[in-house]
Amino acid sequence: MARSKSSNRWLEEHVNDPFVKQAQLDGYRSRASYKLLEINDKDRLIQPTALVVDLGSAPGGWSQVSTKLVGHKGRVVASDILPMDVIAGVEFIQGDFTEQAVFDQIMATLDGALADVVISDMAPNISGVNAADQAASMYLLELALDMACQVLKPKGSFVAKVFHGEGYDSYVKAVRQFFDKVVVRKPDSSRARSREVYLVAKGFRGA
């Protein structure tokens, strides 16, 4: 079957992408690792000894970065519907965190500890229907924010990938209700034509 023009363009972009090449050299599982590294350089979110919760973690690019940043005295608890190969220092729970059993498993793994940072690079499976994809994305974001509000310690931080479109403004407003400072970042490693940006929220005030 012939590939579509858009998938050919994606493949060409991917093969020639300097961040893809760099990820292979640095041993990162995805180019997304550089988005978190860039955000962390600017916002100093993940400190040594921190407890990080990584939602939608597969294939593991953000978990790899997080476990390096927190060091051997920190912790990374990651979760995804998809399987994820083992990463030293990362406690991984496979399943849909919106299901009670999986949520309970994450809470049991945290064992009463509150997170310093919740990170989410989640995106829904793309159907190609923009309105449906945007709605699915906003739904995941609401769930990620809800999870962050349940597991973050006071003054904790939250980072989430958000796509510009329907529901974007009201979501930013919702995040501002719970955090002292909310900024929008577009890392250099995020493709220019992508609608994605990253919300960085600091100073959790409590739900």
- Tell whether 100 is covered by a domain: yes
Q: Binding residue per annotation — 62? A: yes
Confidence bin at 10 (pLDDT 50/70/90) = very low
- Tell whether 13 is covered by a domain: no
Q: Where are the alpha helices (DSSP H) in the chain?
A: 5-16, 18-26, 33-43, 61-70, 100-110, 130-151, 168-178
Q: Which residue has the higher pLDDT, 140 or 192?
A: 140
Active site residue 161: yes
Q: Are 102 and 85 in contact (CB under 8 A)?
A: no
- Tell whether 10 is covered by a domain: no
- Tell whether 37 is covered by a domain: yes
**Residue 9 pLDDT > 70:** no
Q: Binding residue per annotation — 96? A: yes
Confidence bin at 128 (pLDDT 50/70/90) = confident
Rg (CA), the chain: 17
The residue range of the domain holding 151 is: 33-204
Model's pTM, two decimal places? 0.88
- How many independent structural domains does the chain possess? 1
Q: Binding residue per annotation — 80? A: yes
Give the pLDDT confidence of 140-190 residue by residue, as tens digits: 999 999 999 999 999 999 999 999 999 999 999 999 999 999 999 998 877
Q: Binding residue per annotation — 188? A: no
Confidence bin at 5 (pLDDT 50/70/90) = low
- Tell whether 5 is covered by a domain: no
Hey, what are 34's tokens?
């550089």
| Mean pLDDT value across the chain | 89
Q: What is the mean pLDDT of residues 40-68?
A: 96
- Tell whether 142 is covered by a domain: yes
- Tell whether 167 is covered by a domain: yes
Give the per-residue pLDDT at 7. 58
68, 153, 155, 161: which one is catalytic? 161
* CATH code assigned at 133: 3.40.50.150
What is the amino acid identity at position 98? T
Closest C-alpha to 43, from 192, 172, 203: 203
